[in-house]
Amino acid sequence: MTIRLVSFDLDGTLVDTAAEIAEAVHRAFDDVGIERRPQAEITNLIGRGTRELMLKLLARVMLEQPALSERVQPEAVLERFEHHYAETAGCFGKPYPGCVATLERLRDQGVRLVCVTNKEQRHAERVLAVTRLDGYFSMLIGGDTLPVKKPHNGVLAHVLRHHGVSADEAAHVGDSSIDVESARNAGVRAWAVPHGYNAGVPIEDSNPDRLFPNLSAIADEVDAVLGPLPA
């Protein structure tokens, strides 16, 4: 059966957002007098949404420096992060090589495209708008759009219902174990690319159904192996 819908993760899959997220974290920490953390440490926390990233990072900082808890309130730091990420979202991020061409090819084949991310909806909208990718997607699901987020099966199930597509007609593309688990939970093909984050762990360890060398190879798969939709 042909592919009628492909959903894509955002951070680490379509766009390299690590630098802009780290910059917003750095600015927030500067505001409250916390020493900046290595970008690699921040990057390894990407995947479950920026709020969870910040909470995990702050918990680590407070554990290392207990005295900070007497003068720094996590919600205040989160507020400063929100302020700064509203400025940096999309501005430092760059679509990965082949991203635009792949989306164009899939769209031209009649495949419905959806962006499914754990990044909060407002931030995801800005990243897609600034990078000019927003026009390719029929739907955007952020980490706070629904009552649940990836890897809960309800996320991709919602996407399939909305588009009238069955699970065996769909694939989800991501860079992390969260994406592979999301696809498996919903019964769609679990496709992966190796250029993302995944907490620093090789995506091969998550055993996706297909590991593509790059985004362009995904369009090749739909075109050459599964075939385009009938005219």
Which residues share a beta bridge with 15?
11, 95
Residue 214 makes CB contacts below 8 A (sequence gap 6+) with 96, 97, 98, 193, 195
Cis peptide before 202, with omega less than 30 degrees from 0?
A: no
Tokens of 224: 């050459």
Closest CA to 9 of 132, 89, 122, 99: 99
Closest CA to 55 of 39, 76, 35, 70: 76
9 included as an active-site residue: yes
190/123 Cα distance (integer angstroms)? 25
19/15 Cα distance (integer angstroms)? 11
Which of 9, 11, 16, 175 is the catalytic position?
Answer: 9
Which residues are known catalytic residues? 9
